[in-house]
Structure 1
Amino acid sequence: MRLFRITILFVIALTGVILLTRQVQVGPELAERGEALGVAAPAGSRLNAILTSSQTDAGDEFAAAIPVTMHVSELSLEPRAAELSVEQELDSPLSLAEQAERQQAALDLPPDPQIQIASAGPEPNAPILGVNFAALDYAETATNAPPDPEIAVGPNHIVAVVNVAIQIYSKTGSDATAVIPANNFFGTHPDCDEGLLYDPNVVFDEEIGRYLIGFDMGPFSTEGGYCLAVSQTSNPTGAWFLYFFHLNNNSTWVDFPQAAVTDSYITVTGNLFDYVPSPSTNYMGAKIWAFNKSQLYAGGAVVPQSATLGDDYFTMQPLHLHGVAESTWPRHGQRIYFLADQFDGAHYSLFVWEPGNVPVLVNEINLGQGGFPINVPQNGPGLLRANDYRLLDFEYRNNYGWLTQTVSCNPGGGTSNCLRWAQILLVNGQLGPAGSGTYGSSSEHRIYPDLAINRCNDLVIGYTKSSTSSFPGIWFTGRKQLDSAGTLQAEAQLKAGEIAYTSFASDPSPHRWGDYTGMTIDPDGLRFWYIGEYSKDIATASRWGTYIGAFTYPNCQPINVTDR
């Protein structure tokens, strides 16, 4: 992702990425790996075929990462320097011209009777809003845009991250810490001290009781990589181990990292781009890294393992596990599941991988054609960018993985941006009983969804919604386990937008709104927590704010969770 960093004295422009060529990587036959992992091969799958676009990265040579220790109470809360920063371009396997062509094709989509038309809620059995409060905003975060908010929740605390700041809250919404600049949080580690941080991740490991915060560092730099912090207990206001993993190399750099907790590893995926000067930087494939949990949590030396998919795939989403409190945490052992996006708006591939071996294709999934997202209107001047239809999450619950993304669709009155979601059975990559669906309405745009699933198999999806008659605000919908397949409930508003969104002069319309928002499930398996983005009426160069809300379904009972 291209970031522009504007200090008081000067501007450093980091070049953008446009695809001109493709390179195919050849991997070995996968049938024996499928048998070894006990994966059922569905009829018509390619599991027992030669998959020419995956490989294990046995040739990668990673130096052992040694952590340093940091305590939150010792951090400076003052930003390093007065600066403005705006993410100016989302890196893509498509050139700008190709993206424009797909947007134009989306504008010509015919009406689709399969689209579920969104309606106003909430319904009687809808998720109930509980604790909710204003969180990080532009004015508090060393002046960066867009925010890319994510959230993790443990027994007693909430950790929220944005570009480029961190704040910890109690579960009643009170501040447990002040806003912490990300450079200060990671500044104790010499390899993360001066680098450009972006694309934040935060997750909580229910099994062991640890928080993990990660930031991509050093775009378009051979010295860049991933800064990863691991809490030493389930109290995120205490001590942390800080790691730096040198994931960039002389051939490629990593963009759009996505993190997840698995049974034995912390996994991070990313998109790879080469260093050919803009505008001819090339997309080179998608990659996954596995970091041993036991070594991370002990503060030991860690050497990651990795595997690469060729450039037929884009944006891998690792499966994030849940279910410890209700004893449904899966015992996957060394196995890691992930989805890979074929970036055509229709086809997705479920893989299972044991580090040290080649990823195994479980099944290819066809969700039907979704259009490339289009620019989003608001009540006022300027448009918002909806980016593209890459996968935005892959969450585990009770033997299924759930995905979500933004696509464009035509509900009957012209093209708008819509939510798409699906439930996937992990053993064979087939749709689960909830099925899949596309949710939208004419002249209203829903973008950057994220989802979570409770212990009762109920779903909540949060997202941004905007139209010519409304400011960008935060909305949510959901479904109960026994709701009709392929359907969501009526939607409700969490936080209204307050003003037409504007941003830096260097970020003209269509403005960069973000890359993702964040939702997770509480370790109790009951409460959903969402951090979304809305246009906030603040007198700053970029008018974004974030807001956190908790939701429960009335008929799903809680389980007590204590600190570990």
Structure 2
Amino acid sequence: MSDDHSDHTERDVNDRWPIERRRLLQAAGAGFGSLSFAGFSGEVVSAKTGCADGPFEATYEAGSVNIGRIRADQAKGENPGSMQAASPSDEDELDVSGEQPPRKNAQESNIDQEGPLTIRTEYDGVNSLETRGGVPSDSQVAAGDGQLLHVLNRNIAIYNKQSGKREQFFPLERLWEPVIPEPEGGFVLGVPFVFDPRARYDRNEDRYMICATQFQFGLADDGSAINREDVEEATQESDEEVLATASRPPRGWFLVAVSASSNPNGTWYVYRIPPEDATGVDNVGLVDYPTLGFDRNAIYLTQNFFSAELDVTMVTLDKAAMYAGEDVTAYHFNGMNDSDSDGITFTVQPAQQPFSGGSDGTYHLVNSDFPDPVTDPTGTLTLWELTDPLNDPSLECFTLNVDPYMYPLPARQPETDSSFIDTLGTRVMNADFNDGSLWTAHSTSIEWNDGRPVAAIRWYEIDVVSRSVVQSGTYGAPNASYFMPTIGSEGDSTIIVHNVSGPETFPRMDVAGRTTDHTEGRLEDSIIVEEGKSKYVALPNEISGGVERWGDYNGVSVDPSSGRFWTVSQYSPDIDIPESDPERDPYATRIAEIHFDD
């Protein structure tokens, strides 16, 4: 197969497919798709233990929820009304109208597609008109032996993994009802505001896990609500008065749930955990962008905490206690910061590491830099190592030199010069551990021959023993932005689910990947999973500023039986909602099983 990604070619696929598919290969030239280590030594800059405050020990009570009970309540009509998801307001319920995008059922491909990367089974996930609003979708997928979870703002769907038949669909906050008490003054939206979900499947223990965050609106002296945007603005301006003078300060919590068995339709054990230690910190602020990882013995949560100042925090949780539905011991770390990095420590991603780490091993986390200012390049990653998570946790950080990367501009899209797609900066989207290697990816800015910067994907394989990047590549194409990369690695295969948008490309879902024996630093194959069919204009420009929130992340889950990859992402469908409608939110999602041919 050709290595020339810049010469995009089209090929017709069997008429069984409802859409036209194009296969794309990695770009060559300008360092794209290749190992580009100019000035890069791969050496560790520093190692230190003063990277965070803690650990601080605390214990949290468990609650339990039966999904069958939720289904029975829904059958009786006991469901909350519609409300906007990731950008809540205290206004009346939304009345979203418009034509529902047609659902596409599961189908299995036996088509002889050119190239090794193959879509085996695929079907529609939840779309925006089912989610009470929802900007952005924050889609995640977790595949078990028989069922598959699709978790997003602000709902949970359970599917038969192979047929695509939906078995359950309920509001996200219902999962944590036993551990979320109603505060004095009530819930501003009528129900708890739960958002930013993450989902995982523990292949070592055959359990599902979900995390999310709860934001409890503050109340000002005049009775008005203090929302997320107010807290973020107070953080940026170091304005403590907004938080300190509230009659009810805004607060946030981690929410985490684990299934009691391999059946997600049964009982779940649920917990609500403050983001920091309880010694003088009353979690006043916003818990945002939570992440979820695990190893043999522990579950790990991190987040960006917006208060009077930005804080990055982490908590370790005893996995065995949670799987038994018992009270759980937690160890908190606050103030996570790599002072030797080129930028701000932000969005630390814990690995999926089910078969190693734990009490007698090392667990790994990673983050890229948040450049400051965003016009300056940065050239470091931070590798975090945690040992003995259940008894006496110790946290170290190691600064890694990498090729420079820059904050990417928003992505263009067809038929508009005023609405762009948010590529969400340089934060890594996730981390996956595979046989001694930690894989991660983020977006960066690249200039092609036309001189216009676009977003591209930078991916890394980090050898955790030597604490060094052993290979890396940058992936994209001229006149389009490649962004929101979420990576999965298993056996000899690695894939990246991502989005693409440009002046000739409606926002779509792609998957790229490589196998172990392929040329170092290059991706082997790429395929379009779902074409975009219209421009994405979710909110009026006076609200969005002309940059539409997208993503904020995609999902990858390794099948516990086959080792194939289940992926989910959003794309822009053909939907009939007027652009003047203030509640227009036209995304759809696609779930696809991906693998490399033998």
TM-score (norm 1): 0.77
Q: Hey, what's the Cα distance between the residues in 2 that align with 1:310 and 1:408?
A: 24
| CA–CA distance in structure 1, aligned partners of residues 454 and 255 of structure 2 | 37
Unpaired segments ≥5 residues, structure 1? 1-41, 90-121, 277-281, 323-328, 556-564
Distance 1:368 1:256, change over 3 A: same
Cα distance in 1 between the residues matched to 2:560 and 2:87? 33
Instruction: Give a deviation string over 1:315-354, Cα, whole Å, max 9, x none.
Output: 11111125xxxxxx32543532111333244211112112
**Alignment partner, residue 144 of structure 1:** 134
Provide the rounded CA distance (Å) in 1 between the counterparts of 2:64 and 2:270: 5
1:29-428 to 2 correspondence within 5 Å?
Answer: 45-47=45-47, 50-58=48-56, 62-75=58-71, 76-77=73-74, 79-87=79-87, 124-191=114-181, 194-218=191-215, 223-247=251-275, 249-250=281-282, 253-274=286-307, 276=308, 282-284=309-311, 286-308=312-334, 309-310=336-337, 312=339, 313-322=345-354, 329-330=355-356, 332-333=358-359, 335-344=362-371, 345-354=378-387, 355=389, 356-361=392-397, 363-381=398-416, 382-413=419-450, 414-428=452-466
Q: Secondary structure at the match of 2:263?
A: coil
Query: Does the CA-based 8 Å contact 2:438-2:464 persist in structure 1?
Result: yes
Do 2:386 and 2:393's aligned partners in 1 also have CA atoms closer than 8 Å? Answer: yes
Query: Would the aligned equivalents of 1:64 and 1:303 in 2 still touch at CA under 8 Å?
Result: yes
Where structure 2 has 5 or more consecutive residues not aligned to the other structure, the ranges are 1-41, 90-111, 216-227, 232-248, 340-344, 372-377, 578-583
Q: 2:489 aligns with which of 428, 445, 453?
A: 453
Contact kept, 8 Å, 1:126 with 1:479, in 2: the verdict is no
DSSP 3-state at the match of 2:484: strand
What amino acid sits opposite 1:283 in the alignment?
Answer: L
The letter for the 2-side match of 1:497 is G
1:187 is displaced (CA, Å) by: 2.7
Kindly state the Cα deviation for residue 538 of structure 1 after the two structures are TM-superposed: 2.8
Superposition deviation, residue 411 in structure 1: 3.4
Is the 1:70–1:240 contact (alpha carbons within 8 Å) kept by the matching residues of 2? yes
Confirm or deny that 1:444 pairs with 2:480: yes
The secondary structure found in structure 1 opposite 2:329 is coil
2:478 alignment partner, SS class: coil
Aligned pair count reads 461
**Residues 332 and 182 of structure 1: is their aligned pair in 2 closer, same or farther, counting only changes over 3 Å?**
closer
CA distance in 2, matches of 1:553, 1:490: 9
Paired residue secondary structure (1:136): coil
Q: 2:536 aligns with which of 493, 501, 504?
A: 501
What SS class does the counterpart of residue 142 from structure 1 fall into? coil
Q: CA deviation at 1:165?
A: 0.6
Offset of residue 491 of structure 1: 2.2
Contact 1:406–1:417 (Cα < 8 Å) also in 2:
yes
Give the AA of the match of 1:431. V
- Please say if residues 88 and 512 of structure 1, whose CA atoms lie closer than 8 Å, have aligned partners that are also in contact: no
Equivalents in 2 of 1:339, 1:51: separation in Å?
A: 15
1:13 corresponds in structure 2 to none
Which 10-residue stretch deviates more, 446-455 or 222-231? 222-231
Closer, same or farther: CA 395–217 of 1 in aligned 2, 3 Å: same
The one-character-per-residue Cα deviations of 1:164-189 (angstroms, maximum 9, x if unpaired) are: 11101112242242421112333343
Instruction: Give yes or no for the alignment of 1:481 onto 2:516.
Output: yes
CA separation in 1, counterparts of 2:180 and 2:445? 44
Match status 1:547 vs 2:596: no
Aligned partner of 1:108 in structure 2 is: none
Counterpart AA for 1:197? V
Spell out, residue by residue over 1:93-119, the C-alpha distance to the aligned partner (whole angstroms, 9 max, x if none): xxxxxxxxxxxxxxxxxxxxxxxxxxx
Calculate percent identity across the aligned residue pairs.
20
How many angstroms apart in 1 are the aligned matches of 2:214 and 2:576?
30
Q: Is the 1:162–1:200 contact (alpha carbons within 8 Å) kept by the matching residues of 2?
A: yes
| C-alpha deviation, 1:239, in angstroms | 1.3
Aligned residue for 1:185, secondary structure, equals helix
Q: CA deviation at 1:514?
A: 2.6
**2:44 and 2:155 mapped to 1: Cα distance?**
47
Deviation at 1:537, TM superposition (A): 2.3
Point out the more displaced range, 70-79 or 386-395. Answer: 70-79
Counterpart contact for 1:197–1:215, Cα < 8 Å? yes
What one-letter code is carried by the residue in structure 1 that aligns with 2:64?
Answer: V
**Distance of aligned partners of 1:81 and 1:74 in 2 relative to their CA distance in 1, 3 Å threshold:** closer
Distance 2:468 2:548 in 1: 37
C-alpha distance 86-503 of structure 1, shift in aligned 2 (>3 A):
farther
User: How far apart, CA to CA, are the structure 1 residues paired with 2:363 and 2:407?
Assistant: 29
The whole-number CA distance in structure 1 between the counterparts of 2:113 and 2:357 is 36
Q: 3-state SS of the aligned residue for 1:333?
A: helix
Equivalent in the alignment of 2:108: none
Cα distance in 1 between the residues matched to 2:44 and 2:506: 46
1:384-423 deviation line (CA, Å, top 9, x unaligned): 1112101111101111110011111123333110011110
Say what the alpha-carbon RMSD is for the aligned residues.
Answer: 2.4
Q: How far apart, in 2, do the equivalents of 1:440 and 1:404 lie?
A: 13
Change (3 A) 1:287 1:123: farther
Residue aligning to 1:431: 469
Instruction: Report the 3-state secondary structure (helix = DSSP H, G, I; strand = E; otherwise coil) of the residue aligned with 2:359.
Output: coil
Asked whether the equivalents of residues 461 and 477 of structure 1 are also in contact (C-alpha less than 8 Å), the reply is: yes
Deviation at 1:233, TM superposition (A): 0.6
Q: Structure 1 counterpart of 2:316, which letter?
A: A
Shift in alpha-carbon separation, 1:51–1:88, aligned structure 2, 3 A: farther
Q: Distance in 1 between matches of 2:425 and 2:487?
A: 18
Give the match for residue 561 of structure 1. none
